[in-house]
């Protein structure tokens, strides 16, 4: 997957320059910058193809200095209440304890190759979660962090 608009591929970033951990899912600033390899794990491990609107774990194929998994997880920034995509998500084990680790790929607009990532898990029928588009927050220092925004980040699947 690669963003189809402004900015480069997806990567791991600290939230600010004062701490190296925890890490968040971010976007490279330049379109020519490829991101980290990303693996998708469907809720049904026997599923061979990734279907639109199906629950998925997104996991970077990368190592970090933070002692945690690189599986995506929706987090809440304490100071602002913003919902950001961080890491430390568990792969598999769908249910209440992992509901914040499941994302979906949805068709976006009329473009043949335009898709978006949404947080709208259906792995827990009794869980109450806020659904939202995953887009980009551009910080004052230019850092680009993924989180809930009104404007989804459009992606091309490659």
Confidence of residue 5 (pLDDT cuts 50, 70, 90): low
Alpha-carbon dihedral angle through residues 97, 105, 119, 150, given to the nearest 10 degrees: 170
Alpha-carbon dihedral angle through residues 20, 22, 25, 30, given to the nearest 10 degrees: -10
Ranges of each domain in the chain: 2-156
User: What is d(CA 45, CA 17) in angstroms, rounded to the nearest whole number?
Assistant: 38
Class of domain 2-156: mainly beta
CB atoms within 10 A of CB 54: 16
pLDDT digits (tens, 9 = 90+) for 38-85: 999 999 988 888 999 999 999 999 999 999 999 999 999 988 999 999
130 or 33, which is more confident: 130
**This prediction's pTM:** 0.91
Query: Are residues 91 and 71 in contact, defined by beta-carbon separation less than 8 angstroms?
Result: yes
Q: Please report which helix (H) or strand (E) contains residue 147, including its range.
A: strand 144-148
User: What is d(CA 117, CA 133) in angstroms, rounded to the nearest whole number?
Assistant: 6
Query: Are residues 9 and 41 in contact, defined by beta-carbon separation less than 8 angstroms?
Result: no
């Amino acid at each position: 997957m690669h963003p189809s608009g402004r900015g480069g591929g997806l990567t791991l970033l600290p939230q600010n320059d004062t701490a190296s951990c925890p890490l968040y899912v971010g976007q490279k600033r330049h379109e020519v910058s490829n991101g980290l390899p990303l693996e998708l794990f469907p809720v049904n491990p026997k599923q061979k193809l990734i279907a639109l609107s199906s629950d998925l774990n997104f996991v970077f194929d990368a190592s970090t200095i933070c002692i945690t998994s690189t599986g995506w997880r929706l987090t809440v920034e304490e100071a602002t209440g913003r919902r950001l995509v961080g890491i430390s998500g568990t792969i598999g084990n769908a249910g209440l304890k992992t509901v914040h680790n499941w994302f979906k790929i949805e068709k976006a607009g009329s473009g043949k190759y335009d898709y978006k990532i949404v947080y709208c898990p259906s792995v827990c029928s009794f869980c109450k979660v806020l659904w939202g588009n995953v887009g980009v927050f551009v910080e004052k220092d230019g850092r680009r962090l993924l989180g809930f925004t009104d404007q989804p980040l459009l992606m091309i699947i490659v």
